[in-house]
């Protein structure tokens, strides 16, 4: 892929992780959750976990949603209802991705290393929400409701259905709206000066993380179709929805790579170009796997429909044969 070639080129030309030149750059400090600390040195596995920049709001949201999901899964199991392990693994993987982004040194290194900032954006805006939606949390909540009440299903109010039928909900979750907002979120994050504010203020970073999560959840909710949604897309529509993200990430990556000036004070142009290539590859990779997954679902659904059609045809033929034999036997007895 073109984006992979760009990464190779940038790796060969990127200057080691340096915030700038002279003592002024070496003395640069950044805002952490409660204190100012010196900007970390070169990015490494050890330094990644020893320079955390905690985001309390995001951390609490991730912890609370994880606790609810695991509790709901236990209640569903206690009610004798099965829940796929793959759903749980997917949800927890998405929560883990966002937990690492909220507690690691991604933002700390993002001040001088654009690749770290690009990964932070992708964790909250693309990868994490996609895995969480694949875990079908709304469906799990419905099963908890079914298992927690003794009311007959026909007499129970469909609360989720009522909410999904609201005009506002249908408006903000319309597929074209969710796609456009998802596309705009990347442009706003990287090209409006928000990057500098995110790196300078932990509260702006947390607000941005929450916003990216909400936009990502809405984007994936429409296309994953693991939960009930106000709009139901066909398989070819879902594939087109995902394929449209390829040029999106391409434009985002190429635009960042064409920048000749810094988008943040201590991010070098070389680091910006390398991070843009990483973001490009990461975004297209996620979209590719999602497109393949939807296509495989399409094939399996067609196969199930074909089997059901064959079984129905065989059953109809058997009934016709039984009727013919009954008519024949009745005619024979009447002679």
Query: Could you give phi then psi for residue 140, rounded to 5 degrees?
Result: -65, -40
Residue 27 pLDDT greater than 50, yes or no: no
pLDDT band with cut points at 50, 70 and 90 for residue 157: low
Of residues 160 and 147, the one with the higher pLDDT is: 160
- Does residue 152 lie within any of the structural domains? no
Q: Take residue 216 and report the two structure tokens written for it.
A: 């990502």
Angle at 159 between CA 220 and CA 166, to 5 degrees: 65
Please indicate, yes or no, if residue 153 is contained in any of the structural domains. Answer: no
Residue 303 lies in a domain: yes
239 closest CA partner among 178, 180, 282, 295: 295
Q: What is the pLDDT of residue 45?
A: 59
SS (H, E, C) 180-219: HHHHHHHHHHHHCCHHHHHHHCHHHHHHHHHHHHHHHHHH
Tens of pLDDT, residues 61-99: 999 999 999 999 999 888 888 899 999 999 999 999 999
CA 227 to CA 132: how far, in whole Å?
11
Residue 154 lies in a domain: no
Token pair belonging to 51: 């320079």
Lowest mean pLDDT among 144-148, 173-177, 240-244: 144-148
Of 80 and 246, which is predicted with more confidence? 246
Q: Which residue has the higher pLDDT, 114 or 22?
A: 114
Q: For residue 52, report the phi and psi dihedrals to the nearest 5 degrees.
A: -70, 145
Give the torsion through C-alpha atoms of 88, 89, 90, 92, to 10 deg. 80
pTM: 0.75
Token pair of 55 as six digits: 């985001």
Flag whether 119 is in a domain: yes
What is the rounded average pLDDT of the residues 33-61?
A: 63
Structural domain range at position 99: 2-147+162-334
- Total of domains in the chain: 1
**Residue 127: other Cβ atoms inside 10 A:** 21
Is residue 155 domain-resident? no
State yes or no: pLDDT of 151 exceeds 90: no
8: in domain:
yes
User: What's the rounded Cα separation, in Å, for the pair 71 and 59?
Assistant: 18
Average pLDDT, integer, range 283-302: 88
Is residue 204 in some structural domain? yes
pLDDT > 70: what percent of the chain? 80
């Amino acid at each position: 892929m073109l984006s992979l070639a760009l990464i190779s080129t940038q790796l060969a030309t990127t200057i080691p992780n340096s915030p700038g030149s002279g003592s002024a750059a070496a003395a640069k400090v950044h805002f952490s959750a409660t204190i100012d600390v010196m900007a970390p040195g070169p990015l490494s596995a050890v330094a990644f976990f020893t320079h955390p920049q905690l985001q309390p709001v995001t951390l609490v949201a991730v912890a609370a949603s994880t606790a609810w999901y695991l509790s709901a899964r236990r209640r569903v199991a206690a009610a004798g209802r099965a829940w796929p392990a793959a759903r749980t693994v997917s949800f927890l993987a998405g929560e883990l991705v966002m937990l690492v982004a909220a507690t690691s040194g991604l933002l700390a290194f993002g001040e001088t290393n654009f690749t770290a900032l690009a990964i932070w954006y992708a964790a909250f805006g693309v990868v994490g929400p996609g895995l969480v939606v694949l875990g079908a949390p709304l469906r799990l909540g419905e099963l908890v409701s079914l298992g927690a009440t003794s009311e007959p299903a026909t007499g129970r109010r469909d609360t989720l259905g009522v909410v999904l039928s609201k005009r506002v909900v249908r408006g903000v979750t319309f597929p074209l709206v969710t796609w456009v907002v998802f596309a705009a979120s990347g442009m706003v994050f990287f090209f409006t000066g928000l990057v500098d504010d995110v790196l300078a203020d932990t509260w702006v970073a947390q607000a941005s993380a929450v916003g990216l999560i909400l936009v990502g959840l809405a984007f994936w909710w429409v296309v994953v179709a693991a939960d009930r949604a106000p709009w139901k897309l066909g398989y070819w529509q879902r594939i087109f929805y995902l394929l449209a993200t390829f040029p999106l990430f391409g434009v985002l990556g190429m635009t960042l790579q064409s920048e000749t000036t810094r988008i943040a004070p201590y991010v070098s142009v070389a680091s910006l170009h390398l991070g843009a290539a990483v973001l490009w590859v990461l975004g297209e990779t996620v979209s590719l796997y999602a497109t393949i997954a939807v296509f495989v679902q399409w094939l399996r659904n067609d196969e199930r429909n074909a089997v059901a059609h064959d079984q129905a045809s065989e059953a109809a033929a058997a009934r016709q044969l039984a009727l013919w034999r009954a008519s024949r036997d009745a005619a024979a007895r009447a002679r």
